[in-house]
Amino acid sequence: MADGSCTARAGTNIALVKYWGKRDAALNLPAAGSLSLTLEDFGSETTVRFVRQTGGGDKRDRVIVGGKPAEPGFAGRVQRFVDLVRTRAGIDLPAEVVTTNSVPTASGLASSASGFAALALAASRAAGLHLSFPELSELARRGSGSAARSIFGGFVEMSAGTRIDGSDAVAHTVADEKSWDVRLCVAITAAGQKAVSSTAAMDLTAQTSPYYPAWLASVPADIAEAHAAILAHDLVRLGVVAERSAMRMHACAMAAEPHILYWNPATLAAISTVIELRADGTGAYFTIDAGPHVKVLCSASDAPRVAAALAGTPGVVRVLTLAPGPGAHIIGEP
Ligand code: PMV
């Protein structure tokens, strides 16, 4: 009987082979695959409680983020997501959703990835559903494309799938979080202009960038290469493909009309630092998402040196060093 509650936790993830473009906007289906690393420490913890009605109480969902009522746009997005769960479970109860994000604000680490992964697990369990991991990944994808990957820990591959209902557009583990002791050093660069949302930017890129077809065509080979590098624990090979994927994604977006430029001067300075580290013999490789921050892949033993070099880069305001982490998991059920 759905009158339950559940608390789940999920970590954020960073793509090493980027997702940039949808084949179906309504179902949030990616036009190509992607490959990411789920991170520990930073993520979302979400409690969902379906509230049994006694009399004519408030039928609306309540969404609390970081101790405060969510702003209407985000609350609506959460409500539409919970509607998917209610429909699937055959229930009509309002939900109370309480979430906290440990992802630092404006860090360029996506809280939507961990947020919708934690919400998919907590809401489905609270509704009495026991979904498989692929089913959870498919559900999380409806909230945010990258959230489908945060259901799993460590290195994760997301399939584009070919079915129109999206049932095969799900993620799976390539290698778990204990398999390879790498780090991602996140260089937070001074906040620039407000970033264009990834959904709007992907749409504009697909509509106007002459390089979009070439970008999509390049992704499968990058995924195959990254996959092989991960299984071989070959940091150079993985780093080369991660940089190439990020540069191609940004080049494609920069060629949209109007152009989409996420970088600021500190982004370029951090890229230069990574190139200098490599020239000095340190294995460090950058990737950049829909914002100005630079995330640097390296071994655990090199991470202190990489973090120090990034911290000394003009315009870098803070550096976080993050290890691989587990997938979404339940931390409390009544
Ligand atoms: O999950 P979304 O819709 O926020 O898109 C994520 C886009 C990138 O972070 C730039 C790339 C990725 O694969 O995570």
Q: Which domains does the chain have, with CATH numbers?
A: 2-179 (3.30.230.10), 182-322 (3.30.70.890)
Structure confidence at residue 334 (pLDDT): 66
Q: Is the pLDDT of residue 2 over 50?
A: no
- Ligand 1 centroid from CA 190, angstroms: 21
Among the atoms of ligand 1, which is closest to the Cα of residue 112?
4
Structure confidence at residue 156 (pLDDT): 98
Q: Is 141 in the pocket of ligand 1 (CB under 6 A)?
A: no
pLDDT tens for each residue of 69-78: 999 999 999 9
Mean pLDDT of all residues in 306-321: 96
- Ligand 1 centroid from CA 135, angstroms: 20
- Which residues, 6+ apart, have CB-to-CB distance to 202 below 8 Å? 20, 21, 22
Structure confidence at residue 109 (pLDDT): 74
- Ligand 1 centroid from CA 153, angstroms: 17
Q: Is 199 in the pocket of ligand 1 (CB under 6 A)?
A: yes
Structure confidence at residue 107 (pLDDT): 62
Percent of the chain predicted with pLDDT > 90: 87
Higher pLDDT: 218 or 54? It is 218
pLDDT tens for each residue of 183-207: 999 999 976 556 788 999 999 999 9
pLDDT tens for each residue of 234-252: 999 999 999 999 999 999 9
Q: Grade residue 300 by pLDDT with cuts at 50, 70 and 90.
A: very high
Q: Is the pLDDT of residue 3 over 90?
A: no
Structure confidence at residue 113 (pLDDT): 94
- Ligand 1 centroid from CA 15, angstroms: 8
Structure confidence at residue 215 (pLDDT): 98
The distance in angstroms from the start CA to the end CA of the chain is 13
- Ligand 1 centroid from CA 231, angstroms: 24
Q: Grade residue 209 by pLDDT with cuts at 50, 70 and 90.
A: very high
Do residues 140 and 125 make contact, with C-beta atoms less than 8 angstroms apart? no
The DSSP secondary structure of 43-76, one letter per residue, reads: EEEEEEEEPPP-SS---S-EEEETTEEPPHHHHH
Within 10 angstroms of residue 275's Cβ, the number of other Cβ atoms is 12
Q: Is 120 in the pocket of ligand 1 (CB under 6 A)?
A: no
pLDDT tens for each residue of 30-46: 999 999 999 998 899 99
Structure confidence at residue 60 (pLDDT): 87
Q: Is 110 in the pocket of ligand 1 (CB under 6 A)?
A: yes
Q: Is 111 in the pocket of ligand 1 (CB under 6 A)?
A: no
- Ligand 1 centroid from CA 14, angstroms: 8
Choice from 114, 137, 289, 293 to test ligand 1 binding pocket (greatest atom count within 8 A of CB): 289
Q: Is the pLDDT of residue 229 over 50?
A: yes
Structure confidence at residue 111 (pLDDT): 81
- Ligand 1 centroid from CA 145, angstroms: 7
Beta-bridge mates of residue 15: 36
Q: Is the pLDDT of residue 135 over 80?
A: yes
Structure confidence at residue 1 (pLDDT): 41
Q: Whose CA is nearest to atom 10 of ligand 1?
A: 289
- Ligand 1 centroid from CA 31, angstroms: 12
Mean pLDDT of all residues in 274-285: 98
Q: Is the pLDDT of residue 58 over 80?
A: no
Q: Is 309 in the pocket of ligand 1 (CB under 6 A)?
A: no
Mean pLDDT computed over every residue of the chain: 94
- Ligand 1 centroid from CA 289, angstroms: 7
CA distances 291 to 146, 188, 228, 313, Å, are: 15, 10, 28, 18
> Is 198 strand, coil or helix?
helix
Structure confidence at residue 298 (pLDDT): 98
Percent of the chain predicted with pLDDT > 70: 94
Write the Ramachandran bin of 93: left for phi over 0, alpha for psi from -120 to 50, otherwise beta. beta
Structure confidence at residue 86 (pLDDT): 97
Mean pLDDT of all residues in 113-128: 97
Q: Is 20 exposed, middle or buried (CB count within 10 Å of its CB: 0-12, 13-18, 19+)?
A: buried
Structure confidence at residue 43 (pLDDT): 94
CA 222/CA 175 separation, integer angstroms:
17
Q: What is the pTM of this model?
A: 0.95
Q: Is 18 in the pocket of ligand 1 (CB under 6 A)?
A: yes
Mean pLDDT of all residues in 136-150: 97
Among the atoms of ligand 1, which is closest to the Cα of residue 197?
4
Q: Is 112 in the pocket of ligand 1 (CB under 6 A)?
A: yes
Mean pLDDT of all residues in 92-118: 87
